[in-house]
């Protein structure tokens, strides 16, 4: 847990002068306990936050009792958007706490004041490097564990959300390598075993399947999240077309065991890829705070595979981000 920085403490006096929060907020203690209510006062000398809980209790917390993200959440609510100095310091704190999307937003507020534009640009460079390094570190750790999907997720964040960072080229190259290797390994055996089926009845379905994989790759290596989401949505459409072709085949050759086996294997493979696509979209929407869209995609993945551990975990993360108002890559 990152400690509260000295630079951020200078914001506390500003917060103390602000009006008490009207809306209910959620803060988290370092002990792991979660408290809902609103901040009512702050003693800048003693560094004590007074808090009125939703169940009617008045409690006091020192800054050392709160985790850094909760401190950010509380004071993000009371530092005015037109206070450029306060927003700049708040952005730096969010950046150092790993809240990169929030940091970018706060730098935007600070940059509206011309006298801070130059300083904001310098801090944004630091933000991009920190965020990209963080993602690459997680990607390498996932690769070390043999988790290609997790590695792809982190690398894709670099290429789509940090395309101007020095690390973007490396991330794009790694994505191409890992995706091609994994995608080819998935259906090499099936292509050999069911070659005749793929050349005849499942030929159109196989082409759609290959198109789906190519669009998935393009989405992972896209230069921005909008392009990525568009590629993944089109890939999902291709995948759904594959399932329609397979269902036709299963109905037509219901008494042919070999055809049923081959078609069923490709159906499982297609469903697996569709689940991944929905989770890619869910992850992208989560980082842009589109929690309803993210939840919809996670639920779509679970509709295809109700026991999928990644989808269940993703939905839980989305719910947490939505409840806390904080995004954690």
Q: What is the pLDDT of residues 283-325, one digit of tens each?
A: 999 988 899 999 999 999 999 999 999 999 999 989 988 876 6
Q: What's the pTM value of the predicted model, to 2 decimals? A: 0.71
What is the pLDDT at residue 118? 96
What is the pLDDT at residue 326? 65
- pLDDT tier, 23 (very low <50, low <70, confident <90, very high otherwise): low
Q: Structural domains in the chain?
A: 6-130 (2.30.30.100), 165-324 (1.25.40)
**Three-state DSSP class for 230?**
helix
CA dihedral 70, 155, 240, 146 (to 10 degrees): -100
Please state, in angstroms and rounded to a whole number, the distance separating the CA atoms of residues 246 and 254. Answer: 11
Task: Note the Cα 111 to chain centre separation in Å.
Answer: 25
Work out the average pLDDT over 186-205.
Answer: 73
Work out the average pLDDT over 183-198.
Answer: 72
Strands 25-28 and 58-62: unpaired
- pLDDT tier, 18 (very low <50, low <70, confident <90, very high otherwise): very low
Residue spans of alpha helices (H) in the chain = 6-17, 68-76, 84-96, 100-111, 117-144, 148-161, 168-193, 195-199, 203-220, 225-252, 257-287, 291-304, 309-324
């Amino acid at each position: 847990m990152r400690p509260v920085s000295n630079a951020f403490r200078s914001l506390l006096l500003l917060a103390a002068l602000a009006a008490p929060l009207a809306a209910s907020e959620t803060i988290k203690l370092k002990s792991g306990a979660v408290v809902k209510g609103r901040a009512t006062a702050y003693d800048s000398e003693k560094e004590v936050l007074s808090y009125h809980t939703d169940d009617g209790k008045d409690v006091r917390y020192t800054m050392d009792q709160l985790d850094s993200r909760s401190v950010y959440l509380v004071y993000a609510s009371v530092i005015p958007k037109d206070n450029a100095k306060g927003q700049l310091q708040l952005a730096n704190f969010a950046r150092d706490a790993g809240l990169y999307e929030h940091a970018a937003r706060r730098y935007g507020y600070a940059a509206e004041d011309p006298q801070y534009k130059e300083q904001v640009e310098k801090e944004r460079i630091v933000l991009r490097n920190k965020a990209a390094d963080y993602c690459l570190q997680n990607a390498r750790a996932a690769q070390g564990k043999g988790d290609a999907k997790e590695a792809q997720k982190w690398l894709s964040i670099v290429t789509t959300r940090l395309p101007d960072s020095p690390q973007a080229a490396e991330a794009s190259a790694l994505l191409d390598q890992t995706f091609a290797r994994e995608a080819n390994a998935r259906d090499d055996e099936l292509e050999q075993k069911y070659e005749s089926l793929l050349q005849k009845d499942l030929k159109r379905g196989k082409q759609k399947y290959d198109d789906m994989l190519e669009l998935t790759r393009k989405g992972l290596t896209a230069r921005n999240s909008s392009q990525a989401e568009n590629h993944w949505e089109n890939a999902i459409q291709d995948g759904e077309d594959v399932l329609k072709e397979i269902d036709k085949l299963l109905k037509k050759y219901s008494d042919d065991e070999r055809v049923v086996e081959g078609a069923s294997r490709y159906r499982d493979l297609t469903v697996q890829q569709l689940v991944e696509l929905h989770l890619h979209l869910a992850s992208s929407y989560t980082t842009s705070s589109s929690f309803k869209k993210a939840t919809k995609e996670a639920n779509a993945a679970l509709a295809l595979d109700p026991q999928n551990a990644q989808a269940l975990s993703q939905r839980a993360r989305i719910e947490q981000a939505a409840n806390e108002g904080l995004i954690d890559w």
